[in-house]
Structure 1
């Protein structure tokens, strides 16, 4: 395929991923990674997506910064960071495919239950954030899937769209910064990575801004359904990719 055509398709993909991120505050990697990984080496595309995700999260957090609940989010961040290194030990007892399949099934199953109108609100949210943070950290350290547990918990609590977006974005920014720091230390931020990133930044910015504008037209219930569908897609994508690679 022509190189120019690949660049154009990549730009369109990043725009779509940016739009979803601006709309729901997660899902950028879910949209961008599958296509970009087919045209750019994986060792380059992973840091590219993380850098672009950081930019999208910064834009979103500026828009919803007044809704961040620091008293809750710091607990989530702390226990997630503490649990992340232990995530690697999960692979000692469960190999990666098994762990991904179990995680995908749980994500799809619980998301479907919430989508059908069932929820299990937890009164002691601070204590719950400890558990969610640990689970998110373990998954991040083992299979790089930190987002779904947090998104599912916030959806289960019927959190309004602005608080949902603010809290999950604040959490994601911390993870982005830590991840990028490890890439810098490991020498993964190469010249090629920065060139590709610069190509995609304009379409990413446009996509995020369009998503932020579109969110104003969604009420809390429609936003919640959209977020749950996106979580279901992420779970299904994990299952399909894992099963086809066996």
Structure 2
């Protein structure tokens, strides 16, 4: 493997750690990082495979409780719309997808940084909409966990329950889009060599993230994560427009 590929795996580990601690999920960091190494459609494929392993790790390590009603309210619409998003992604230009991703990351980070106390009502309607939008963005852009996280935060779940419930929903979302991406041709032979490494990274990254959660305030780390998302979004947009 080349040095560039080793760096990619190191960045994937970093994405998994801060995704676990920050509460956004690793894809919000992993997708733009992977975009510097692969074409965008391949990024969608490798992200889905990585996230399946990542979510299984989180379910195993944060299994102290699961909120079944949120799995139904958020999970079902998320799975339906991630399939729709995955189908849409096949018909969108890669250049356009990269621009949309950059704008999405910038807008998302600024929204959370400016509206620090942003609250979504804890009811079925908001849960359904949060699940639908998170699934749609996951299917089209490869990342939608932040929208789901914002929606789930309204239900004031205990930290371990929050992560485990989110991971179960995300697992079904990623499993569904993996199938769609496979038939879209997004999962290519060139990324299969990375899968064993990414499985190990998902386990190590989740474990290290769990350890960090015991020592660092989640609010403090989330704020740091948001500034990082903002910088990644700006870099992604700049790369799409000028490189």
Q: TM-score range by the shorter chain?
A: 0.7 to 0.9
**Structure 1 equivalent of residue 232 of structure 2:** 237
The separation in 2 between residues aligned to 1:86 and 1:205, in whole angstroms, is 28
**Structure 2 equivalent of residue 107 of structure 1:** 108
**Structure 2 equivalent of residue 120 of structure 1:** 119
Shift of the 35–206 alpha-carbon distance from structure 1 to 2, 3 Å rule, reads: same
Structure 2 alignment gaps of length 5 or more = none
- Among 134, 137, 152, the alignment partner of 1:139 is 137
TM-score of the aligned structures, taking structure 1 as reference length: 0.75
**Structure 2 equivalent of residue 227 of structure 1:** 222
Displacement of 1:69 in angstroms is 0.5
**Structure 2 equivalent of residue 154 of structure 1:** 152
TM-score of the aligned structures, taking structure 2 as reference length: 0.76
Displacement of 1:223 in angstroms is 1.1
Shift of the 235–135 alpha-carbon distance from structure 1 to 2, 3 Å rule, reads: farther
Listed one character per residue, the Cα deviations across residues 35-92 of structure 1 (whole Å, up to 9, x for unaligned) are 4443445554432232122111101111223322011221112223344427959x9x
Q: What are the residue-to-residue correspondences of 1:65-76 with 2, within 5 Å? A: 65-76=63-74
Displacement of 1:176 in angstroms is 0.8
- The structure carrying a bigger helix percent of its residues is 1
Q: CA RMSD in A?
A: 3.4
The separation in 2 between residues aligned to 1:57 and 1:86, in whole angstroms, is 20
- Among 49, 52, 56, the alignment partner of 1:51 is 49
Shift of the 172–234 alpha-carbon distance from structure 1 to 2, 3 Å rule, reads: farther
Shift of the 216–4 alpha-carbon distance from structure 1 to 2, 3 Å rule, reads: same
**Structure 2 equivalent of residue 212 of structure 1:** 210
Aligned length: 234
Q: What are the residue-to-residue correspondences of 1:166-205 with 2, within 5 Å? A: 166-205=164-203
Shift of the 241–204 alpha-carbon distance from structure 1 to 2, 3 Å rule, reads: same
The separation in 2 between residues aligned to 1:44 and 1:105, in whole angstroms, is 22
Contact 1:33–1:45 under 8 Å retained in 2 = yes
Displacement of 1:214 in angstroms is 2.3
The separation in 1 between residues aligned to 2:42 and 2:225, in whole angstroms, is 25
Shift of the 155–100 alpha-carbon distance from structure 1 to 2, 3 Å rule, reads: same
Contact 2:52–2:174 under 8 Å retained in 1 = yes
Q: What are the residue-to-residue correspondences of 1:80-99 with 2, within 5 Å? A: 80-84=78-82, 85=84, 88=88
Contact 2:44–2:186 under 8 Å retained in 1 = no
Displacement of 1:168 in angstroms is 1.9
